[in-house]
Structure 1
Amino acid sequence: MNRISRMLSAMFTIALLFLFTVNASAQKISLKDLTVEYLVNPFSIDNPKPRFSWKIISTAKNTKQNNYEIRLGTSPKIDKVLWKTAVNNNQSVLIAYDGPQLSSKTKYYWQVRVKDNHGNVSAWSPVQFFQTGLKPEDWSAKWIAVEGKDTSLASPLFRKEFNLKKEVKSAMAYITAKGLYEASINGGRVSDAYFAPGWTSYKDHIQYQVYDVKQSLKKGANVIGVSLGDGWYKGRIGFSNQKQFYGDTRALLMQLEVEYTDGSKETIVTDNSWKTGYGPILTSNIYDGETYDARLELSGWNNIGFKENTNWKPVQELAMGPEKLIGMSGPPVTKHEEFKALKIFKTPLGETVVDFGQNLVGWVMLKAKGAAGTKITISHAEVLTKEGNFYTTNLRSAKQQNNYILKDGTEQVFEPHFSFQGFRYVKIDGYPGELKLENLTAVAVYSDMKTTGKFSTSNPLLNQLQHNISWGQKGNFVDVPTDCPQRDERLGWTGDAQAFASTAAYNMDVSGFFTKWLKDVSADQLPNGSVPFVIPNVLNQNDAGSAGWADVATIVPWDMYVSYGDKGILETQYESMKKWVNYISSVAKNNLWNTGFHFGDWLFYRPNDDNDGRAAVTDKYMIAQTFYAHSTQLLINAAKVLGKTDDVTKYNALLEQIKTAYIKENMTPSGKLISNTQTAYVLALQFDMLPENLRAQAAQRLVDNVRDYGNHLTTGFLGTPYLCHVLSRFGHEDVAYDLLLQESYPSWLYPVKMGATTIWERWDGIKQDGSFQTADMNSFNHYAYGAIGDWMYKNIAGINPVSAQPGYKNILIAPRPGRKLTNASAELETVYGTVKSSWTITGGVFKLDVTVPANASATVVLPKADKKEEIGSGSYHFECKY
């Protein structure tokens, strides 16, 4: 190379370096979605070391955080820094506060900035805040209730007028109730939440809520008004018509703390100066609905100037109980989608029925105008009979009815306050005049969880299945994960929750939802370590300890750790996890869990006239042994994460004994299991119960069984979540797809073909001839079988968390297309940002587009390819022959 060429080459290199430097310095990063304990600017943080999280936005590929700085103070400007930390690592999720001890009921302000591996430094984030909760000694309010026995079915009203002498700088209201409450200040609701304070293990702890009410107050006269409902606390709950399970008296506790602009403070509390009366809510019950008599409305009762008559009585103060008062940690229940009425029609029996087109949970807002005393009854149902009549037999004793009694001839709008219904159809009786579509609006009500997942394919039936899974979750995640939302049950069944937890974490942000509920799992766990069938537990104390149900104590904490990277949830739940495994050990004989009651593979395939042994019955103790192993393995996993090396050693030894006992009890020397069912092989393979050299033959036996049933599943609640996972793991992707795409009963798509808009409790809730399954247990909104959603996200779309780097810090993108699918697309909003995986197959070429969020990485595995590609953040395109 001559001198001129070398000079030109050098100049070109310098130019490239210059451009790279300019481009690199032009790359900017910023921060979004700042949270404390998963919450945005929360008001009731009880954790003494609250945890901060944020997401990084960057236009540069392969962006990772190199270090972060957090500063915290007690003023919005953070001009006086109480705590500051600068750390060189890439952690941006759930970073614990490590400064001076925080004071109770105090607002703290914080912000963060980060530096990435490209040398970019973000600006300081917008200032965020959190407020610490109350200590027991901070409560000066008293519990108040109606005088004497609380025997009225009507909802009591409580009010208190007070005078603020100065200009208000800030005002925080702390409220809870025994029962449910709706609170207002000067006539306006303090919140858009419903069913507060939520359902918890009330005998152990009751949540309180905190509201910033400065804008509702004014200098001079003000008034607080609160109405109470029975709710889960006092109302009918459980199977045996039990009432007053937690207590016989509805009560209110409220503390309003006001700070004036001059720095002085004043506190208004519930005490014997309050007055109570009754209004238009005559009855209100979770199962039965609400009766509201508009003629009894007390205009202005919760506003200034209302004249209390002799019907308003003094309240009585109640002593503080043993239950703890804790800050709210989960999302509130709020209104969401609205559905217009699609059609109004007469059934063959002459009923006036309205169809909203979607099985949902919430209520109907009804407009009506008529003579005073006119009673309108709204009944709710999920389905119609094959003749087209309104069907409510499957509700059992739940009335699921709202009654509205009109006042004068003005138009009124009715919706319930302390009850919710599960329905697609409503029957209207007593409506004055012509009922029109615009008179009715259905409102979906569920816990305020952000939608995080999207999933679609080239198959419309699969898309409807995903829709049904999502709506099954919405309808049953109403403060606790219920089994069903319509009949006289609506309980937090643990088996359903553990089966569906990982699917739930794809569809919505359930971090706070399950964090809150797991507190109840710990609280209601029996002293011997056994876990009840339902949480909160409203059944008998002995209704506990069933395999696959009680294992919720280990399964859900681990699933939440994998999905959100929350080591704290393992720390909090570890003793509960350990107590459960130790309980099984205490009742096991020779390392075999062959005692006690078990639900088994609930609602497995059972033909009506089983003359040739086709019912897919799996031995219950055989199932129990596999879950004994699974919970032990999850306990070992948690112990490794938490550095509990002694427990790792101890429970590894136990696990070997459990598996040895399983093989001796349940398997022939050739590898055949004593229960030759799909569920038996699925659980044995999913939980690694078999020696390596016998797993492939067991998987083949599973395949043979599926083929023998004509490519139909026969699994129930415990086998179904793992069925397709096991087939994929052992190289039988084609069989997994055959099951998923099967359209005839029993299958996931059979209900879809029958018009379902949610997941059914039974594979054949509506039989092929249009008749119904057993009426006393036939919910049409029951999410357990929706657990297939986990496989759809992981295998069809290929978005997988990696437990070694949980919370999608590292992501496995490994789509596995099958059968006639030509495209699939999914995205997931993780704690680091949005992950996307979208593929198409055209002309024998598989094309994949992937997006990885900043501060995360991914491993991409193309279908039918051995090669793995490691990528950082950014968007990528891949192609291969297919």
Structure 2
Amino acid sequence: MSIRVEEIRCEYKENPIGIDILRPKFSWKLMSEEYNIYQTAYRILVAKDPKFENVVWDSGKINSNQSVHIEYDGPSLESRTRYYYKIKVWDNKGNESEWSPINFWEMGILDKKEWIAKWISPRENPENPEACPYIRKEFLLKKNIKWARVYVSSLGMYELHLNGLRVGDWYFTPGWTSYHKRIQYQTYDVTSFLRVGKNAIGVILGPGWYKGYLTWEKVKNIYGERLALILQLHIQYEDGDEEIIITDNNWKFAYGPILMSEIYDGEIYDANLEEEGWDLPNFNDNKWENVEEIEYSKEVLIAQESLPVRKIEELKLISLIRTPANQLVIDMGQNMVGWVRFKVSGQKGEKVVLKHAEILDKDGNFYTENLRKAKQTIEYTLKGNEVEIFEPHFTYQGFRYVLVENYPGEVNLENFTGIVIHTDLEITGYFRCSDELINKLQHNIVWGQKGNFVDIPTDCPQRDERLGWTGDAQVFMRTACFNMNVAPFFTKWLHDLKVEQFSNGGMPFVIPDVLYVLPNRENKHSSSGWGDAVVICPWTLYLCYGDKRILEELYENMKAWIEYIRKQGENEYLWNTGFHFGDWLALDASEGSYTGSTPRDLIATAFYAYSTSLLVKSAKVLGKNEDAEKYTKLYSKIVESFRKEFVRPDGQLIADTQTAYVLALMFDLIEEKHKKKAITRLVQLIEENNYHLTTGFLSTPYLCHVLTKYGYVDIAYKLLLQKDYPSWLYQILKGATTIWEHWDGIKEDGSLWDPAMNSFNHYAYGSIGDWLYRVVAGIDTSEEKPGYKHILIKPYPQAFQFVEAQYNSINGLIKVFWENKKNEFYMKVHIPPNTSASIYLPYSEKLDEKEISFTPRSEIREIRKEKEGVVIKTGSGKYEFRYSFKQY
């Protein structure tokens, strides 16, 4: 068969169980070796059985080329029910596919009234309030089991066991949400865990984000003071009967070996306090106490939205170091996020103490000052006389180096393994070029994303912070979308952003919002560039994945944000009041300031204009024509006011900074007649700084794009390839394996930036990845056909001999390879089925199409000459282009 349906997904996931979306969406990819293939029709069949004898929805043959985000349109879906589905398609060449492999999804608990379980809570340990409780319940099953599901959540984190085995491979469940309004529950298929006869459930609870220490003030109990569990085990027997085991006050608890497990501080574990068999039947729990049923809303319970945090990979340690301070330190070779699994033998009562840090200082000693109040320490007490293997439970560390403060016997590297954890997101992007330093930069960008995508997009994974800063997320988001499939990850986070927005339309700095517990609450919300995440992030998701639903869900929040800004100050078209971070960590900041010298009202008004323009686009996508007209007028007024306030009559900006010119040019805020002067001045400012940048968090993502847009891609490449401070490669030559918070976290003389804020894993400046993918490799999407339905291939090849990149978009795998040798250019492009592309051939401005070798020429739909050069219009297939050119 010449066409196949593959990579079928329901709500971006493969065979998800326990979802609560009432009209889930399906997506698939077409596979074909033929050229110019596109889908002309599809059919979806949904049934309650894998043989499709009980069909609940047959879409019929739908004439459409849409293969993503097809909404289920059958009868109402039922709670706790599995649905099977398969898909077939027809193409433009008369081919009909086979039915796809059968996939499924399973609904969770759809009606809150179905939650008959009670929230149960153990009494706090009066001797040690930090200790983690163990909870258990035995139950008897008398008949053969057909299937069983656990639906479970907690106030705090939980780890679930059944009959002596850990259930699932998810960590830090139920995840971090705006707990007062949304708490996820997870669904587990536990059919294989159960048996006829006695069974036992065991659960360990930890404080997590719910009641553990958060923020640099290490405030505890932000969401509540009591750990709690809610669980329903639904069992269906082979004879059709059903039984439900629920949490109630008959469950028992005790405190065990986990004496403390905190996100920032690490874990203290005493193996001598283990009670073997606590999660098995027939365990003697006479000394255990009964839990208490507590009142807590079940209305806040929602099904798991994002993908889980999992162990993703293991790292072997590269060396053992004896520091000048005579400390024994293990080098992982990579700044990573997770923990160390270790193996140890020794006497009862002996201890292993491990501390974690990102760097060694100038003298080569273990450095922890930048952790601030976070301890990042693991302390394990041996039970002795056997080989003991340990991993922590409710904590994670950000580190490259491990200080072995205590360890019985000789430290052998084979006894230590780095466990890398993060949200289990599909890797979708790949970039490689002829410059190994740039490849290292790409490596660092990806590892920065891994380490900071732990259930939410954090700013850093090591110190007493690890919060969902909105500004950081929005500047990095386009890069993130290329590296990994982040649609469900950001959808979940944006749902929290939605409910955290203030009634007046203002936005917190962090999502979930925990900064309200700190003093001076009035300065903890609604900065430009940070609050704008409510507009920029949904638009970016729509652009990259083509899913209108996120725009529909956040549209009123987007409007509320714009209206909030509009009400600030006396002039509704300028934003010149309130607190703003400005261009955070820009290098033209005054001594002792974290903010660059560009006026904050200029930056605020620029983002006001940009967000309004995106609101207009969103309104048009959603067919809200009156809003589109209304906010188009508002946008025009903002731009007009920006020009009056911040642009001099001669076209110069009132702020003579790289940041000012980047934002004004990127957001199209300068009159056409003044743009040449503006870009010329930006280039002069770069030249005057010896071809180095001075930009901060808000403007760096746009810097190279602006230079490219206005014909100075050579300057953009110069900035990219600089090796001395400040530059991306400076960090790499200083040993960075992730992106730093500061351009000079380690200064040229080896000294360190202020430890009050000096993370070595902070992804904001990794936003250069977006420029690498969209400009250097040249892979982009059309706004008119988002989600890479219409693909733009437009590389700007300079500096490198070759570039190889690919992106597994929601519409299929896109590949680009280009090679530039002397005056010979070669490019190979792969366009997936059911998409189209515009391919721009670089260096072709003065070439005739006859001078270009096209393979296969017969499959190209259109060749045309534009000012920028030769442009190819094509559909799916593999294409090659080769030609000679002169350097003008």
TM-score range, shorter chain: over 0.9
Question: Which of the numbers 861, 867, 870 marks the counterpart of 1:867?
Answer: 870
Task: Give the counterpart letter for 1:42 in structure 2.
Answer: P
Question: Which of the numbers 197, 214, 238 marks the counterpart of 2:215?
Answer: 238
CA deviation profile, 1:307-339 (whole Å, cap 9, x unmatched): 1131x1001011232751000110100001211
- Residues 1:825 and 2:807 are matched in the alignment: no
- Residues 1:122 and 2:103 are matched in the alignment: no
| 1:544 corresponding residue in structure 2 | 525
**CA distance in 1: counterparts of 2:212 and 2:534, whole angstroms:** 28
CA deviation profile, 1:72-104 (whole Å, cap 9, x unmatched): 121121212211112101000010111111122
| 2:542 corresponding residue in structure 1 | 561
- Residues 1:788 and 2:791 are matched in the alignment: no
- Residues 1:324 and 2:300 are matched in the alignment: yes
| 1:457 corresponding residue in structure 2 | 433
User: Contact 1:823–1:839 (CA<8 Å) still a contact in 2?
Assistant: yes
Query: 2:18 is paired with a residue of what secondary structure?
Result: coil
Query: 1:326 is paired with a residue of what secondary structure?
Result: strand
Query: 1:838 is paired with a residue of what secondary structure?
Result: strand
CA deviation profile, 1:478-522 (whole Å, cap 9, x unmatched): 000000000000000000000000000111110110011000100
- Residues 1:534 and 2:526 are matched in the alignment: no
Query: 2:737 is paired with a residue of what secondary structure?
Result: coil
| 2:260 corresponding residue in structure 1 | 283
CA deviation profile, 1:345-382 (whole Å, cap 9, x unmatched): 21011111000100000000011111111121110000
| 1:52 corresponding residue in structure 2 | 26
User: Contact 1:153–1:284 (CA<8 Å) still a contact in 2?
Assistant: yes
- Shift of residue 616 of structure 1? 5.4
CA deviation profile, 1:738-780 (whole Å, cap 9, x unmatched): 0000111111111011110000000000000000001110000
CA deviation profile, 1:674-716 (whole Å, cap 9, x unmatched): 1111110000011111112211211111111100100000000
Worse overlay, 366-375 or 762-771: 366-375
CA deviation profile, 1:534-583 (whole Å, cap 9, x unmatched): 00000025311000001000001010101111111111111111111111
TM-score normalised by structure 1 residue count: 0.95
**CA distance in 2: counterparts of 1:725 and 1:148, whole angstroms:** 55
**CA distance in 1: counterparts of 2:588 and 2:642, whole angstroms:** 26
Map of 1:508-657 to 2, 5 A cutoff? 508-540=484-516, 542=522, 543-590=524-571, 591-606=573-588, 617-657=597-637
- Residues 1:249 and 2:223 are matched in the alignment: no
Worse overlay, 646-655 or 120-129: 120-129
| 2:859 corresponding residue in structure 1 | none
User: Contact 1:45–1:327 (CA<8 Å) still a contact in 2?
Assistant: yes
- Residues 1:426 and 2:402 are matched in the alignment: yes
User: Contact 2:598–2:657 (CA<8 Å) still a contact in 1?
Assistant: yes
**CA distance in 1: counterparts of 2:291 and 2:281, whole angstroms:** 20
Task: Give the counterpart letter for 1:835 in structure 2.
Answer: I
**CA distance in 2: counterparts of 1:323 and 1:239, whole angstroms:** 31
User: Contact 2:586–2:594 (CA<8 Å) still a contact in 1?
Assistant: no
**CA distance in 2: counterparts of 1:323 and 1:289, whole angstroms:** 33
- Residues 1:66 and 2:40 are matched in the alignment: yes
Task: Give the counterpart letter for 2:881 in structure 1.
Answer: F
| 2:411 corresponding residue in structure 1 | 435
- Shift of residue 458 of structure 1? 0.5
Q: 1:659 to 1:322 in 2, by over 3 A?
A: farther
Query: 1:587 is paired with a residue of what secondary structure?
Result: coil
Map of 1:696-707 to 2, 5 A cutoff? 696-707=676-687
**CA distance in 1: counterparts of 2:758 and 2:299, whole angstroms:** 36
- Residues 1:83 and 2:62 are matched in the alignment: no
| 2:882 corresponding residue in structure 1 | 879
| 1:343 corresponding residue in structure 2 | 319
- Shift of residue 607 of structure 1? 7.7
Query: 1:472 is paired with a residue of what secondary structure?
Result: helix
Task: Give the counterpart letter for 2:216 in structure 1.
Answer: F
| 1:834 corresponding residue in structure 2 | 813
- Shift of residue 880 of structure 1? 2.5
**CA distance in 1: counterparts of 2:445 and 2:174, whole angstroms:** 27
Query: 1:348 is paired with a residue of what secondary structure?
Result: coil
- Residues 1:371 and 2:347 are matched in the alignment: yes
- Shift of residue 253 of structure 1? 0.5
Query: 2:515 is paired with a residue of what secondary structure?
Result: coil
RMSD after superposition: 1.5
**CA distance in 2: counterparts of 1:608 and 1:687, whole angstroms:** 26
| 2:14 corresponding residue in structure 1 | 40
- Shift of residue 405 of structure 1? 0.6
Map of 1:703-782 to 2, 5 A cutoff? 703-782=683-762
Q: 1:531 to 1:323 in 2, by over 3 A?
A: farther
- Residues 1:31 and 2:5 are matched in the alignment: yes
- Shift of residue 133 of structure 1? 2.4
User: Contact 1:162–1:221 (CA<8 Å) still a contact in 2?
Assistant: yes
Query: 2:679 is paired with a residue of what secondary structure?
Result: helix
Query: 1:724 is paired with a residue of what secondary structure?
Result: helix
| 1:179 corresponding residue in structure 2 | 156
- Shift of residue 836 of structure 1? 0.2
CA deviation profile, 1:411-432 (whole Å, cap 9, x unmatched): 1111110000000000011211
Map of 1:4-23 to 2, 5 A cutoff? none
**CA distance in 1: counterparts of 2:796 and 2:569, whole angstroms:** 40
CA deviation profile, 1:447-473 (whole Å, cap 9, x unmatched): 000110010110111000000000000
**CA distance in 2: counterparts of 1:69 and 1:331, whole angstroms:** 28
Q: 1:746 to 1:824 in 2, by over 3 A?
A: same
Q: 1:149 to 1:300 in 2, by over 3 A?
A: closer
CA deviation profile, 1:637-669 (whole Å, cap 9, x unmatched): 110000000100100000011011111111100
Question: Which of the numbers 435, 438, 445 marks the counterpart of 1:469?
Answer: 445
Task: Give the counterpart letter for 2:261 in structure 1.
Answer: S
Query: 1:444 is paired with a residue of what secondary structure?
Result: strand
**CA distance in 1: counterparts of 2:801 and 2:218, whole angstroms:** 52
**CA distance in 1: counterparts of 2:164 and 2:28, whole angstroms:** 37
- Residues 1:507 and 2:510 are matched in the alignment: no
**CA distance in 2: counterparts of 1:791 and 1:126, whole angstroms:** 37
- Residues 1:857 and 2:839 are matched in the alignment: no
User: Contact 2:350–2:408 (CA<8 Å) still a contact in 1?
Assistant: yes
| 2:848 corresponding residue in structure 1 | none
Question: Which of the numbers 347, 360, 365 marks the counterpart of 1:384?
Answer: 360
- Residues 1:102 and 2:77 are matched in the alignment: yes
| 1:206 corresponding residue in structure 2 | 183
| 1:146 corresponding residue in structure 2 | 122
| 2:141 corresponding residue in structure 1 | 164
Question: Which of the numbers 259, 281, 291 marks the counterpart of 1:315?
Answer: 291
Gaps of 5+ in 1: 1-26
Q: 1:404 to 1:57 in 2, by over 3 A?
A: same
- Shift of residue 608 of structure 1? 8.5
Length, aligned pairs only: 852
Query: 1:428 is paired with a residue of what secondary structure?
Result: strand
Query: 2:541 is paired with a residue of what secondary structure?
Result: helix
User: Contact 2:596–2:696 (CA<8 Å) still a contact in 1?
Assistant: no
Query: 1:432 is paired with a residue of what secondary structure?
Result: coil
Query: 2:17 is paired with a residue of what secondary structure?
Result: coil
**CA distance in 2: counterparts of 1:754 and 1:358, whole angstroms:** 13
Query: 2:19 is paired with a residue of what secondary structure?
Result: coil
| 2:853 corresponding residue in structure 1 | none
